[in-house]
Amino acid sequence: MTQCPEVLDYLKAHRQEFISFVKTLALSESPSTEPESQPPIREQLAAAFDEVGYCSLHISGRETGGHLYARPKQRSPGQPAQLMLGHYDTVWPTGTIKSMPFAVEGDVVRGPGVYDMKGGIAQIVFALKALRDLDIHPAVRPLVFLNSDEEIGSRESARTIRRLATRVQRVYVLEPSLGPGGKLKTTRKGVGRFNVTIKGKAAHAGLDPAAGASAILELSHVIQALFALNDADRGVSVNVGTVDGGLRPNVVAPQSEAVVDVRVSTQADAERVEQAILALKPATPGVTLQVTGRIGRPPMEATSRNQGLWQLAHGLGRQIGLTLEQAMAGGGSDGNSTSVFTATLDGLGAVGDGAHAQHEFLHIDKTIERAALLALLLAAPPAAQGNCRHISQG
C-alpha cells in the first residue's frame, strides 16, 4: 500500500529536475506551422519516455511534423488502458525564445509554450517517473499521445485521437488549467468555422448601378442572419470575424466573403446551428452564395462518465491538499473529440496564465502538485472512488 502524500513528496523532491526538463522543451521551439522544427523535441520526448520504460512510435504527418505515441515496453494482455493526451506544438514562431527568454523567478517559470503546454508534457513524464520509482503499478495501462498540430485544429491527428479514444477507459488531457485558481475543464464549447463566398455582378455605380448585383449588399443580409443565431443563454456564439469584398468605390461589388467562428455548448445546438448556416440562401437578386465549413470539434459536455472522472480527481486532490474546482472553457481541445467516445477530464496541465500571450508563465509549485494529481489518477483502478488505499504497490 501507499499513501497519497508520498507521490507529492517525491515530485517536490524533483522540483529542479522538473524545471530543467521544462526548460529543455521550451528551448526546443516547435511551432505548428514549421514542421521542420519539430523532430528535435519529438526525439527528446522519445528519450524521456524510454528512460521511464516506454517505447515510442513516430506517426508521420503529411503536412505536419508528425506525432508521438508511447506505451509501456512491458505489456499485459487484456489489461485495460487509459490515455494521456497533449501536444508539443506551440503558436510561437522559431526565434521567439530570444524575445521571450526562458526564465525562473521564484515560483514563476516563463517562456514560450511553458504554459500551453510544455509544462503539461513535463507532468506526464514526471508522473510516470513517480509511479516507477515508488513501485506503483497502475491496473489501467497508461498510454501517451502527443500531437504536433493541435494549435491549428488537429486536422491530421484527429483520426488517430478518435481511434485511441475508442480503445481506452478514460482520457486525461494535459492542456493548461483555467484561470489563476487552476480550475479543471469538465466542459468545453464545440468549435466550428465557416466560409461564406458571394458572387455578384459588377457595374458602374454611377452610370448603371441597376445592371449590377452587389455581393456586399448580400453579405450585409448574411451577417445579420448569422448574428441572429447568437443565444447567450444557450451558450451559442456566432461571430463574423473577417470580411472582404468589392473592387473600387465606384463599382458595384462583384464578390465578397466572410469567415465565421461558431461556439456551441451542446451537440444538439451544434447540429442546429451548423444546419442553419449551411442552409443560408441569397436575398439579393442576381447573386450566388456558397457556404462551406462545419463544427470541427464537438462540444465536450458534462456527461455522467466525465463527471465521474471529475469526482475522482476532486477526491484525490483533497487528499494531497488541493481544493479543485471545475469550469467550462470557451475554446476547444482534443478532449472535445475524445469525450464523444470515453470519459475525459481536461485542464489537468500547468497552473499559470498567458496562453498565446507575451506574458506566458506557469507556477512551478502548483504545476508539480498537478503532476502528483495526475500520477494518482493514473494509479486509480477502474471506477475508483478516489481513495489512496486502492493504489497498489509492487
Q: What is the pLDDT of residues 162-176, one digit of tens each?
A: 999 999 999 999 999
What's residue 389's pLDDT? 47
Distance between CA 380 and CA 84 in Å, rounded? Answer: 14
Beta-carbon contacts of 19 under 8 Å, excluding residues fewer than 6 positions away, are 104, 109, 364
C-alpha cell at 267: 451537440
Q: CA 226, 231, 236: angle at the middle one, nearest 5? A: 80
pTM for the structure as a whole: 0.91
Does residue 5 register a pLDDT over 90?
A: no
pLDDT for 67 equals 98
Residue percentage of the chain with pLDDT more than 70: 96
CA-based R_g, the chain, Å: 24
CA distance 354 to 135: 36
Residue 215, Cβ density class (10 Å: 0-12 exposed, 13-18 middle, ≥19 buried): buried
Alpha helices in 247-351 (DSSP H): 267-278, 304-319, 334-339
Domains belonging to the chain, first-starting first, are 4-188+300-390 (3.40.630.10), 190-297 (3.30.70.360)
Q: Which of 265, 289, 286 is nearest to 277 (CA)?
A: 289
* C-alpha cell of residue 86: 497533449
Q: Which are the contacts of 165, defined by CB distance < 8 A and separation ≥ 6?
A: 83, 171, 337, 338, 340, 341, 342, 344
Quick: pLDDT tens for 275-327: 999 999 999 999 999 999 999 999 999 999 999 999 999 999 999 999 999 99
Q: For residue 380, with 0-12 CB atoms within 10 Å meaning exposed, 13-18 middle and 19 or more buried, which class applies? A: buried
At 388, the pLDDT band (50, 70, 90 cuts) reads low
Q: What is the pLDDT of residues 89-131, one digit of tens each?
A: 999 999 999 999 999 999 999 999 999 999 999 999 999 999 9
384 pLDDT exceeds 60? no
Q: Read off the pLDDT band of 3 (50, 70, 90).
A: low
